[in-house]
Structure 1
């Protein structure tokens, strides 16, 4: 019965041979690429929760499988560096976006999407939704503005995937996300990359925990310099140790609320809003 229940939420949309190596043809320039072992599609109806740190129902990863996730982007320099590392291994991740960062750096967010990664949200301002001032409508607005801002910056609706800042998940907000059919993502192992000043610390933290747990959803931050620097070596080590990446996708896109779409558009679009890309409006004619 439990397996049937899990299968109703997670469908294997595009499964590749888990043990097959990624060839040079599949990943140009890297015949030892990590690649993607399989892609899963998640039905977010009812707001299911994933990540055994908090939610214990959906155990969909096999031994040796990992999900790469990044919070707090997009951010200059660090997010592009993470994207470059992922591209060099032809692998995919899920990015949980802060709304403010999205509207500050839409060009970076669009690169995340163009690379085929999954985009979820992480509130408007990284507020702790368990704090008293965030109860009720204020907390809901944090969630919804994050969704609308990401949609505004991206030009398309993100996936109905959400991660609570600080992993603080008050019951009221969990219930709200269920009503909105938005899946909640915790993690199985935390890199604590915000505590590590050197990339070696990030790599060690991830590999040590994986060795103990054998699989899991990995929490990292593309906002952190140490993580950006660690990614090339971390991905190489994951491949060497036989870990396999599972790419998360959503059955549907999130449906943003018009109230917050309008609020974001008024705040950031300006009186002469244009859909033209920055490169077609502003061009460097001298210097680098």
Structure 2
């Protein structure tokens, strides 16, 4: 009886420390674990009677992913806490967020030492993001492009050299976008993936003629509702507070970060933790297959 009380006390303490949403179940000594629970316990070296009886192999299977280290000490609530819906996009009109929904985006990468660390942080919170990449960066680091896609994030377009498209004619602007797309296509083709036809203007510089031309080329423009302004020289704490203040003011939106700044890397864990504590959900943007096919054809025709 003393052993049972010790086990119960240990389990209660662990549940409190890891933030379980439900109180621990009382051990029913008369209950017999199912064959699935016994198999799960043997596989995962579970020895506590309570843990064996309450083990749920189905939930554990859904939570596990190739990118999450299951020995990292992350509790189930943390892994699932930020995961929102997948939003399939075919046109600009499809980019509609409900209250409390956030889309996380990163521009200008990939960059070693920054992008890969950001991927690890996103994995810890099971949050998916959209990376709008430069073609010239993708040429230098194709393996990092693939790693972003392998971990379930969306790879989109941000031109080749980050030039201001309002300074050139429409033909040259579309050619610059296509030039930036080709290194992404080359980087992702070995894993049978392709960049999403999502595009963001460098410097957010645009006009109606440009927007119409980009849309007619089969691309969906990734607008920004919450600009973190992490490109300004500031501390990670300043970036965090500025971004959260704007997000709380609007209650939802597409957030702009850059995966080339250390301040952004340093800020990200606190930002994701705050999203979770404030009840936000991170939405993953996914291109509709029809959009993918249409953009490939139209971009080639425009060049």
Shift of 1:59: 6.6
The residue that corresponds to 1:82 in the other structure is: 118
TM-score normalised per structure 2: 0.70
List gaps (5 residues or longer) in structure 2.
1-20, 22-55, 65-69
Residue 217 (structure 2) aligned to one of 176, 180, 183: 180
CA offset digits 1:25-48 (Å, max 9, x no partner): 32644222343211110113xxx2
The residue that corresponds to 2:174 in the other structure is: 140
Name the count of aligned residue pairs. Answer: 227
- State the alpha-carbon separation in 1 of the partners of residues 86 and 275 from structure 2: 18
- State the alpha-carbon separation in 2 of the partners of residues 143 and 232 from structure 1: 32
Higher relative contact order (CA 8 A, sep 6+): 1
1:151 pairs with 2:151: no
The residue that corresponds to 1:111 in the other structure is: 147
Shift of 1:195: 1.0
Q: Secondary structure at the match of 1:141?
A: helix
Superposition pairs of residues 174-213 of structure 1, within 5 angstroms: 174-213=211-250
TM-score normalised per structure 1: 0.73
Superposition pairs of residues 274-285 of structure 1, within 5 angstroms: none
Q: Secondary structure at the match of 2:110?
A: coil
1:178–1:187 Cα change, 3 Å? same
On the 8 A contact 2:231/2:261 being kept in 1, the answer is yes
1:94–1:67 Cα change, 3 Å? same
- State the alpha-carbon separation in 2 of the partners of residues 153 and 238 from structure 1: 32
Superposition pairs of residues 255-270 of structure 1, within 5 angstroms: 255=296
**Higher radius of gyration, 1 or 2:** 2
Superposition pairs of residues 1-288 of structure 1, within 5 angstroms: 25=60, 26=63, 28=70, 29-31=73-75, 32-33=78-79, 34-44=81-91, 48=92, 60-131=96-167, 134-155=168-189, 156-252=193-289, 253=292, 254-255=295-296
